[in-house]
């Protein structure tokens, strides 16, 4: 088992609601896994894995967390891992290892998908609905961008004239670079809690006579 810092250990054993803020590489995954194991194997009372929900942002993180839980539960399920060979503790660990296959350890969107599928009849949805994969979403996004740019190119208003002037200055060889920039801004805005507010702020800053925020 990894050695945890005093701050990590406090997060592992703290009772009630806990909010942990940490940067990349700070050991968040190992700390969360240790907190789960602490509740599952040593809690008073112990918490069964089928009562635990763990969500992450990426498939890689969910896979890594499930693997670490599997390794730790496998070790705990061995009689030699328990003082005085406490048979009840070994049996509990084995039960939890078996439950891991169906445990709710996944990305946030995968959990939401599972929740919707379980209750599709309450939502008036087709039970055969599916979630778009990245390739499908990319095709649709480019189609929408095509329509937006086409409308801007045909726009006869002052706004359309501004688009044309911008393209003449910055996209004389085609709008590929402009399209790439638009998609980058879109991707970044989607990571923010209030993307529309952020976009409005950027437009306001850009409209200033002295755009000091745009150096």
| CA–CA separation, 215 and 188 (whole Å) | 19
Beta strands in the chain (DSSP E): 53-56, 104-107
Q: What is the DSSP string of 117-169?
A: HHTTTTTT--TT-----HHHHHHHHHHHHHHHHHHHHH--SHHHHHHHHHHHH
Task: Give the per-residue pLDDT at 163.
Answer: 82
Q: Smallest Cα–Cα separation from 15: which of 34, 35, 1, 29?
A: 35
pLDDT band at 164 (very low <50, low <70, confident <90, very high): confident
pLDDT at 61 over 80: yes
pLDDT band at 213 (very low <50, low <70, confident <90, very high): low
Task: Give the per-residue pLDDT at 80.
Answer: 64
Task: Give the per-residue pLDDT at 95.
Answer: 92
Residue at token pair 């445990």:
103
Average pLDDT, the chain: 85
Each residue of 5-48: pLDDT tens digit?
Answer: 888 888 888 888 888 887 777 888 888 899 999 999 988 889 99
Percentages helix, strand, coil for the chain, rounded to the nearest 5? Answer: 65, 5, 30
| CA–CA separation, 118 and 110 (whole Å) | 12
Each residue of 109-144: pLDDT tens digit?
Answer: 889 988 999 998 898 888 888 888 888 889 999 999
Contact yes or no for 77/90 (Cβ under 8 A): yes
Q: Please state the pTM of the whole predicted model.
A: 0.63
* β-strands 53-56, 104-107 pairing: parallel
Task: Give the per-residue pLDDT at 85.
Answer: 47
Average of per-residue pLDDT across 167-172: 78
């Amino acid at each position: 088992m990894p050695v945890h810092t005093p701050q990590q250990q406090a997060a592992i054993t703290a009772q009630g609601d806990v909010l942990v803020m940490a940067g990349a590489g700070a050991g968040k995954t190992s700390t969360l896994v240790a907190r789960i194991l602490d509740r599952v194997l040593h809690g008073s009372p112990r918490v069964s894995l089928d009562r635990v929900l763990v969500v992450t942002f990426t498939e890689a993180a969910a896979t890594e967390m499930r693997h670490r839980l599997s390794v730790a539960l496998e070790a705990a399920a061995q009689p030699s891992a328990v003082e005085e060979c406490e048979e009840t503790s070994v049996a509990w660990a084995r039960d939890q290892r078996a439950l891991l296959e169906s445990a709710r350890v996944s990305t946030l969107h995968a959990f939401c998908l599972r929740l919707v599928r379980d209750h599709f009849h309450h939502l008036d949805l087709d039970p055969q609905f599916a979630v778009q994969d990245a390739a499908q979403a990319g095709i649709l996004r480019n189609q929408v961008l095509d329509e937006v740019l086409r409308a801007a190119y045909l726009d006869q208003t002052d706004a359309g004239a501004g688009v044309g002037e911008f393209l003449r200055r910055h996209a004389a060889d085609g709008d590929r670079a402009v399209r790439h920039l638009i998609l980058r801004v879109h991707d970044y805005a989607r990571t923010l809690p209030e993307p529309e507010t952020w976009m409005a702020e950027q437009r306001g800053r850009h409209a200033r006579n002295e755009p000091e925020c745009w150096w």
